């Protein structure tokens, strides 16, 4: 039976690219989405054409009961997961901190931080040798913004990804003896639909001059880093970060 991976936020962008690459390397894939059922269904169809077993599961990762259902559905349909890619995340419109509402902060932190914790919890309960599991790997999708702060634009998003970095370090050390590796990828300016969803579809082209490589990255370039961290090739790597930022 093939290995099973749960990828959150996998109906588009980095998540969808990771799902396709995971399927190509032999994984059965749970494609999680929150709203766009049609896009998730298209991703699953692509994976099935490639010969992989795949399902699409609607779940809002900021809602505990949804996360539990996400993993239970995967257990029944595909088998117990040995991989989790914590990719789901939201970005709001550009704004200074002194203009941010509490509602905005709750939305960003609930999805980007609480969601990552809840999904990691469910993965650990299945993978940890302490709970009778066979081990596995968790890859958190952070952001180069965690190091840079995104002043004048997305300090809340950057802060949420800083929390994901801390989760990565702490959880990696907490469960290192239980057969689970926890690592993170920090993408930089990547061409995905996320920027268009908050009103600036050309953002990567606007800022790519600040990147030493003078270009934006692709979702596939991030996906390849994620798949390496999931794989046995990274068997002695935990609590580590790969910056896919073009040198920024």
Catalytic residue among 27, 154, 157, 191: 157
Closest by Cα among 183, 202, 182, 177 to 192: 202
Helix axes 13-24, 219-230, angle to 10 degrees: 50
* Residue 157 annotated as catalytic: yes
Rounded-to-integer distance, Cα 234 and Cα 144, Å:
21
Distance of CA 44 to the CA centre of its chain: 17
Strand partners, 182: 138
CB neighbours of residue 105 within 10 Å: 15
Rounded-to-integer distance, Cα 160 and Cα 164, Å:
6
CB neighbours of residue 114 within 10 Å: 18
Whole-Å CA distances, 116 to 2, 87, 110, 188, 231:
25, 8, 9, 19, 20
**Active-site residue numbers?**
157
């Amino acid at each position: 039976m093939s290995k099973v991976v749960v990828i959150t936020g996998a109906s588009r962008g980095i998540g969808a690219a990771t799902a396709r690459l995971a399927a190509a390397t032999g994984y059965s894939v749970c494609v999680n989405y929150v709203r766009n059922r049609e896009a998730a269904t298209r991703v699953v169809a692509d994976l099935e054409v490639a010969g992989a077993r795949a399902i699409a599961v609607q779940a809002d990762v900021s809602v505990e009961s949804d996360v539990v259902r996400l993993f239970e559905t995967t257990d029944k349909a595909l088998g117990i997961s040995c991989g989790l890619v914590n990719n789901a995340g939201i970005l709001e419109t550009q704004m200074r901190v002194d203009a941010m509402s509490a509602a905005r902060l709750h939305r960003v932190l609930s999805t980007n931080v609480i969601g990552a914790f809840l999904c990691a919890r469910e993965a650990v309960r299945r993978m940890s040798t302490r709970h009778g599991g066979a081990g596995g790997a968790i890859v958190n999708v952070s952001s180069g913004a965690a190091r840079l702060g995104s002043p004048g634009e997305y300090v809340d998003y950057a802060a949420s990804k800083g929390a994901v970095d801390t989760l990565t370090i702490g959880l990696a050390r907490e469960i290192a003896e239980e057969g689970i590796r926890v690592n993170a990828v920090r993408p930089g300016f990547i061409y995905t639909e996320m920027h268009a969803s908050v009103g600036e579809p050309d953002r990567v082209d606007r800022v790519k001059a600040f990147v030493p490589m003078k270009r934006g990255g692709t979702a596939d370039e991030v996906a390849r880093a994620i798949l390496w961290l999931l794989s046995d090739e990274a068997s002695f790597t935990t609590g580590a970060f790969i910056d896919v930022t073009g040198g920024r």
